[in-house]
Amino acid sequence: MTTTGTALGEWTCPEVPADPMKVLALLLDDPNPLHYDREAARRAGFAERVNHGPSSIGMLLNIVRRAFPEGRIVRYDVGLVGSVLAGQTVRASGAVVGRERVAAGERLTCEVELRVDGGGLALRGTVDLVVPDPG
């Protein structure tokens, strides 16, 4: 059983890759060159290409998936607070802040955040998941 206050540990992406940003821009039909053109990003005041918000959110959700691999994410509410750039190291962390018994097991609420090394907070929010009862 997980208790309120349990830390989720840390998930790290040692270097945010730039190459998938262009592919994701095509998949999302996002013509914003900040995601795939280094010079456009620099003209806009960024040192490197800017990672897509959905990709950064996916990185953040990795901490919950790793902490509770059998869990099913049922809701997340995440705010983009800062930018994640190609080449940066990002770290996701969080903690369980709420528990509730449900028919399928236990519903957990976790506060989570994604930080950029040397750059501060990039994302913050909450994730709810249902963890089934063991066996």
Model confidence over 7-58: pLDDT tens digits? 999 999 999 999 998 898 889 998 899 999 999 999 999 999 999 999 999 9
Tell me whether residue 66 is in a domain: yes
Token digits of residue 72: 């099913």
Tell me the residue range of the domain where 29 lies.
7-132
For residue 102, what is the domain's CATH number?
Answer: 3.10.129.10
Residue 88 DSSP symbol: -
Token digits of residue 82: 């800062």
Tell me whether residue 1 is in a domain: no
For the segment 80-85, the average pLDDT, to the nearest whole number, is: 96
Tell me whether residue 40 is in a domain: yes
Task: Report the pLDDT value the prediction gives residue 124, as an integer from 0 to 100.
Answer: 97
Tell me whether residue 45 is in a domain: yes
Q: Which band of pLDDT confidence, cut at 50, 70 and 90, is reported for residue 61?
A: very high
How many domains does the structure of the chain reveal? 1
pLDDT digits (tens, 9 = 90+) for 89-126: 999 999 999 999 999 899 999 999 999 998 799 999 99
Task: Report the pLDDT value the prediction gives residue 135, as an integer from 0 to 100.
Answer: 67
pLDDT digits (tens, 9 = 90+) for 64-80: 999 999 999 999 999 99
Host H or E run for residue 10: strand 7-13
Task: Report the pLDDT value the prediction gives residue 118, as an integer from 0 to 100.
Answer: 86
In this structure, the number of other CB atoms found within 10 A of the CB of residue 70 comes to 10
Tell me whether residue 2 is in a domain: no
Bridge partners of 43, per DSSP, are: none
Q: Please give the span between the terminal C-alpha atoms of the chain, in angstroms, as a whole number.
A: 13
Looking at the predicted structure, is the pLDDT value of residue 1 above 80? no
Task: Report the pLDDT value the prediction gives residue 4, as an integer from 0 to 100.
Answer: 87
